[in-house]
A and B are shown apart, each in its own frame.
Chain A
Amino acid sequence: KQEVTQIPAALSVPEGENLVLNCSFTDSAIYNLQWFRQDPGKGLTSLLLIQSSQREQTSGRLNASLDKSSGRSTLYIAASQPGDSATYLCAVPSNAGGTSYGKLTFGQGTILTVHP
């Protein structure tokens, strides 16, 4: 059974700092990994989707890397801003190595607070 763990559970940083969020998964035979953002009281918004053939994916100040062999992914946020404050979740297909029909297994999330 696929399990996903995110470290740290919470992170508080001053504005402008570069930061790294970590995600690990137990079964490395995944097709992709997604990072989501969740604002308080809102749904999830997909930030980045990394295919298994890729090692990283970039969108603006966000960069996500994937190391399948070690079962890890990192989300790097450059020059953090107060507007980046949210919960960040990573997720992988539930049936690693098989067809998941889009079913995902989520980590518990990292709560990020960026203070001015």
Chain B
Amino acid sequence: NAGVTQTPKFRILKIGQSMTLQCTQDMNHNYMYWYRQDPGMGLKLIYYSVGAGITDKGEVPNGYNVSRSTTEDFPLRLELAAPSQTSVYFCASSPWGTDTGELFFGEGSRLTVL
């Protein structure tokens, strides 16, 4: 099973450029999440979704947008990239999304903004 797949794995952007990080899961999970991880820090939630067509902000949503048109896909859009968005981005999914559920993570997308 593929699990949670993220693309691209690495990307370098110039300030002001835009891009989309792709995330796909093949486990039919309703709940999906985007986190960012900065060096020496834990993960911080950017956006999450509890099902197709439903998204909500997490702790650090500024500068990002998401959409959830299908159960499988949860892309993260960066508009007008800034150096502060240099980070490693992780997509995750959960079968139940309740407080008893386990999270499954992708391998991450490392983004550098210069």
Tell me the A residues contacting B by CB distance below 8 Å: 4, 9, 30-32, 34, 41-46, 49, 51, 89, 91, 93-94, 99-109
Q: A32-B99, A32-B100, A34-B102 are in contact. Are A104 and B45 (CB under 8 A)?
A: yes
Contact yes or no, A101 B31, CB < 8 A? yes
Number of interface residues of B (CB under 8 A): 31
A43 touching B108, Cβ below 8 Å:
yes
Question: Is B19 among interface residues, defined by CB-CB distance under 8 A?
Answer: no
**Does any Cβ of A come within 8 Å of B74's Cβ?**
no
| A–B complex contacts, Cβ < 8 Å, 17 sampled | A30-B99, A32-B100, A43-B90, A43-B105, A43-B106, A45-B105, A94-B59, A101-B31, A101-B56, A102-B33, A102-B94, A102-B101, A103-B33, A103-B48, A104-B43, A104-B45, A109-B42
Alpha-carbon gap, A36 to B85, bound state (A): 24
Q: How many A-B residue pairs have CB under 8 A?
A: 74
Q: Determine if B103 is an interface residue (Cβ-Cβ < 8 Å).
A: yes
B27 CB to nearest A CB, Å? 14
Please list the 5 inter-chain residue pairs (A to B) with the smallest Cβ-Cβ separation, ordered nearest first: A106-B42, A31-B99, A43-B105, A102-B97, A102-B94
**Chain B residues with Cβ under 8 A from A109's Cβ?**
42
In the complex, what distance in Å separates the CA atom of A93 from the CA atom of B96?
Answer: 13
Closest to B32 in A: A102
Residue pair A42, B99 in contact (C-beta under 8 Å): no
Q: Does B21 contact A (CB under 8 A)?
A: no
Asked whether A108 and B103 contact (CB < 8 A) given A94-B45, A102-B98, the answer is no
Q: B66 an interface residue at 8 Å Cβ cutoff?
A: no
**Contacts of B58 on A, CB cut-off 8 Å?**
103
Docked-complex contact B103 and A104, CB < 8 angstroms: yes
What distance in Å separates the Cβ of B34 from its nearest Cβ neighbour in chain A? 11
Nearest A-chain residue to B58, judged by Cβ: A103
